[in-house]
Structure 1
Amino acid sequence: MSDLVYVVDSDAASQSGIDDLLRASGYRTKAYGSADEILQQMPERESAGCIVIDVQCRDNAAPDLFDRLSKAGSNLPVIFLAGHSDVRAGVRAIQAGAEDFFTKPVQREEFIRAIDRAIARHRLTNEQDCWGRKAMARLHLLTRRERQVFDLVVRAKMNKQVAFELGTTERTVKAHRHNVMEKMQLRSVVELVSCAERLGLLRPGIS
């Protein structure tokens, strides 16, 4: 299934033109007449896509839209379009966090490349978020003692050191390590350390 682009434009003719361009380039599209409309019918967070919005409004439209999208739980990249007289709005859009900004009429190839980049970034973000949720869910399956072993092992502690710090035997530590690897669905200590790093658990004071 082709990727989906959400087009926000209050001008029907302009919206139709953007729609035709995107569909001719292989995208699916969904149209909205205003930012309020897309906020009331939020796209699915897990689906890769992006928002294209025509900025024909006040200077604070960009930061206002990003704030409202964020509060609504959207992480969709946003590409802004505006007329040549609205360059200031484009600058504010980029400052607010827009993926890209174009003045109309857009140069087709450059615009489509920006759409490709935005969707690729959103797909990667979704994959990373999904991995993080699954990894945290597995981490929460560890018992208190297994989590203590996890925290020491990822900080390069040997079994003997872990046993000493926890007041137990190396044999017991090995059993806990085995359980940790099984529950985290990892095959090596290197993978375990990488997992801890990606979850932000190796920063000073984090455990």
Structure 2
Amino acid sequence: MTLTQRVAIVDDEPSVRSGLSNLLQSDGYATLTFASAEAFLNDIPARNDTALVIVDIKLKGMSGAALFEALQQSPTPPPVIFISGHDDETWPRYAGRAGAVAFLRKPIDIDILLEHIQRVLTPGEDKP
């Protein structure tokens, strides 16, 4: 079953991008991957066709937090799941206050990630 919702994955680590993309595709989601926040923001068709963004908080160049803030300027911003390999207690609080779907630490618990994605993208499910 292929779902129509497209998930954008923004991470500067190629292995994270490809691993998450492969996982989500095997679960039926269409994916797009980007090595930077700037690459995602500059791809207008991808931005307009994205139902959910998974973004690393700490990216080279523009941070994941700055990307989130830029996306909030659009009329219908996509939901965002933050991920990070850094052990900083500030980011989970930031993500919650900012209105992100979740903040997940790397290595990512795949079951929890898929639960968040399904909750957000399944029609009729309760939204955050």
Alignment TM class, shorter chain as reference: 0.7 to 0.9
Distance 2:9 2:29 in 1: 11
Distance 1:117 1:104 in 2: 21
Alignment of 1:19 with 2:13, yes or no, is no
Distance 1:62 1:96 in 2: 12
Contact 2:83 2:105 in 1 (8 A): yes
> Which among 67, 73, 76 is matched to residue 65 of structure 1?
67
Equivalent residues, number: 122
Distance 1:81 1:28 in 2: 19
Gap regions ≥5 residues in structure 2: none
> Which among 103, 116, 119 is matched to residue 117 of structure 1?
119
* Larger RCO, structure (CA 8 Å, separation 6 or more): 2
User: Percent identity at matched positions?
Assistant: 27
Distance 1:32 1:13 in 2: 12
CA RMSD of aligned residues (A): 2.8
Contact 1:81 1:101 in 2 (8 A): yes
Amino acid at match of 2:101: E
Contact 1:55 1:81 in 2 (8 A): yes
Using structure 2 for the length normalisation, give the TM-score.
0.78
Using structure 1 for the length normalisation, give the TM-score.
0.51
SS of 2:71's partner is helix
Whose helix proportion is higher, 1 or 2? 1
Structure 1 66/55 Cα, relative in aligned 2: closer, same or farther at 3 Å? closer
Structure 1 48/33 Cα, relative in aligned 2: closer, same or farther at 3 Å? closer
Structure possessing the higher radius of gyration over alpha carbons: 1
> Which among 78, 81, 106 is matched to residue 80 of structure 2?
78
Q: Which residue of 2 aligns with 1:6?
A: 8
Distance 2:65 2:111 in 1: 27
Structure 1 40/124 Cα, relative in aligned 2: closer, same or farther at 3 Å? farther
Whose strand proportion is higher, 1 or 2? 2
Contact 1:62 1:89 in 2 (8 A): no
Gap regions ≥5 residues in structure 1: 126-207
Runs of 4+ with >3 A deviation:
42-45, 60-63
